[in-house]
């Protein structure tokens, strides 16, 4: 006799949510309060209780990594987070990761993880602009979209993704572009990778830059990262900040220059001195859009690296990781062309 037709039960994907703090876990005194609340006040369990729908999509587990305002993010939490993600994704029964994070430095954590996670499984970062206690809080829908994305096979191999306000941005190109609005995360220069269409992630583009399993960076034996300072140029810049960076032990300096990464002539001597001491200097731009490219000036001769389309805070991360491998500006310059 023929065997009865069996209903094939498709197992739900397993997604782990790692909570680090931020407005998404923020609590205010009233539901009309949109600023001045306490970020990182609510634990992971409270966040997940607000979105029971996620359990239809995936088997979800939560872990608390930290509970801070992301303006206070540091190397220690970054390394803890990266090592935990690598450990989890190495398990065959973990299919994807969602990280909840404050929005202030979300783009930095995203790019850091994009360079050090050793798996092609989906890693999604989200935050919120309105505290969890607010009317029309944006956290819950971002959590639902993020779990959909982390559970999706389509999200594999695309690098770390940011899922906020129904858009999918890539870690390398995303920026917080507005201090208050919920549509703050954009990739103004290079565009979104995709959108959520009725909760379903749909991709239209992919980055050409190396990430995750294709990078040379490995944090598994690191307990700290090299010190890199950012110096923001302006009228009357006189190089004192560059001197202070050197005096405080910077191994690298990112110069957020005017225009196409220009340096004030009064600040040049301090930066040339830094380069002579073996400190790697990267020229980036305080202008929000457009690449920082090579120059005909003495800057290239001095070995200053140009940041391309990375903004100063992202250039800083690539320089930190580059310095774990070499302090040869030429080799670091190659990294800025690849990542």
Ligand X SMILES: NC(=O)CC[C@H](N)C(=O)O
Footprint of ligand X (CB under 6 A): 21-23, 39, 69-71, 102-104, 127, 129
Decide whether 104 or 229 has the Cβ nearer to ligand X. Answer: 104
User: Of 141, 137, 144, which is closest to residue 15 (Cα–Cα)?
Assistant: 144
Cβ proximity of 136 and 190 under 8 Å: no
| Annotated catalytic residue, options 23, 184, 215, 309 | 23
Of the pair 44, 267, the CB lying nearest ligand X is at 44
Of 162, 155, 146, 39, the C-alpha closest to 110 is: 162
DSSP line for 92-130: TT--EEEEE--STTHHHHHHHHHHH----S-EEEE--SS
Closer residue to ligand X, CB minimum distance, 103 or 292: 103
CB of 47 to ligand X, least distance (A): 13
Cα–Cα distances in Å, from 3 out to 6, 117, 138, 181, 305? 8, 46, 50, 59, 68
| CB nearer ligand X, residue 13 or residue 127 | 127
How do beta strands 96-100 and 59-68 pair?
unpaired
Establish whether 23 is a catalytic residue. yes
Q: Do 109 and 80 meet the contact criterion of CB atoms below 8 Å apart?
A: no
- Nearer Cβ to ligand X (102/329): 102
* CA dihedral sign of residues 254, 125, 127, 220: negative
Q: Least CB distance from residue 177 to ligand X, whole Å?
A: 13
Q: Residue 124 in contact with residue 144, Cβ under 8 Å?
A: no
Minimum separation from the CB atom of position 72 to ligand X (A): 8
CB of 189 to ligand X, least distance (A): 22
Gap between the Cα atoms of 58 and 45, Å rounded: 16
Longest Cα pair distance anywhere in the chain, in angstroms?
Answer: 91
70 or 142: whose CB is closer to ligand X?
Answer: 70
Instruction: Output the residue with the shortest Cβ distance to ligand X.
Output: 102
Q: How far is the CB of 136 from ligand X (least distance, A)?
A: 14
Shortest spacing between CB 67 and ligand X, in angstroms? 10
Which residues have C-beta within 8 Å of that of residue 220, sequence separation ≥ 6? 83, 86
Least distance in angstroms from the C-beta of 21 to ligand X: 6
Whether 93 and 15 have beta carbons less than 8 Å apart is answered as no
DSSP code string of 269-327: HHHHHHHHTT-EEEEEESSSSS-B---SSHHHHTT-EE-BT--HHHHHHHHHHHHTT--
Give whichever of 69 and 257 is closer to ligand X, judged by the CB atom.
69
Q: 143 with 48: CB under 8 angstroms?
A: yes
Q: Mark residue 135 as left, alpha or beta (left: phi above 0; alpha: psi -120 to 50; beta: remaining).
A: beta
Catalytic residues, which ones?
A: 23
């Amino acid at each position: 006799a023929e065997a009865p037709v069996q209903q094939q039960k498709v197992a739900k994907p397993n997604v782990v949510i790692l909570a680090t703090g931020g407005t998404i876990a923020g609590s205010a005194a009233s539901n009309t309060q949109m600023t001045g609340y306490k970020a990182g006040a609510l634990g992971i369990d409270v966040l997940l209780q607000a979105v029971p729908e996620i359990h239809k999509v995936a088997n979800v587990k939560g872990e608390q990594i930290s509970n801070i305002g992301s303006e206070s993010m540091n190397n220690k939490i970054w390394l803890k987070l990266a090592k935990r993600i690598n450990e989890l994704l190495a398990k065959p029964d973990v299919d994807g990761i969602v990280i909840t994070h404050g929005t202030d430095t979300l783009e930095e954590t995203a790019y850091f993880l994009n360079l050090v996670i050793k798996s092609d499984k989906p890693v999604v970062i989200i935050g919120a602009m309105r505290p969890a206690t607010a009317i029309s809080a944006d956290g819950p829908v971002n959590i639902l979209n993020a779990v959909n994305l982390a559970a999706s096979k389509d999200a594999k191999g695309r690098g770390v993704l940011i899922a906020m306000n129904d858009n999918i941005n890539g870690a390398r190109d995303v920026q917080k572009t507005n201090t208050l609005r919920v549509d703050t995360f954009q990739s103004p220069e290079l565009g979104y990778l995709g959108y959520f269409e009725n909760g379903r992630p749909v991709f239209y583009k992919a980055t050409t830059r190396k990430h995750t399993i294709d990078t040379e960076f490995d944090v598994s034996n690191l307990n700290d990262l090299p010190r890199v300072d950012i110096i923001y140029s302006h009228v009357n810049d006189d190089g004192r900040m560059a001197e202070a960076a050197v005096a405080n032990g910077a191994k690298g300096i990112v110069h957020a220059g005017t225009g196409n990464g220009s340096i004030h002539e009064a600040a040049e001597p301090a930066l040339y001195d830094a380069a002579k001491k073996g400190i790697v200097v990267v020229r980036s731009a305080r202008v929000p859009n457009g690449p920082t490219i090579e120059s005909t000036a003495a800057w290239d001769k001095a070995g200053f690296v140009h940041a391309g389309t990375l903004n100063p805070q992202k250039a800083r991360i690539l320089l930190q990781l580059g310095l774990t491998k070499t302090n040869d500006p030429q080799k670091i310059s190659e990294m800025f062309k690849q990542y």
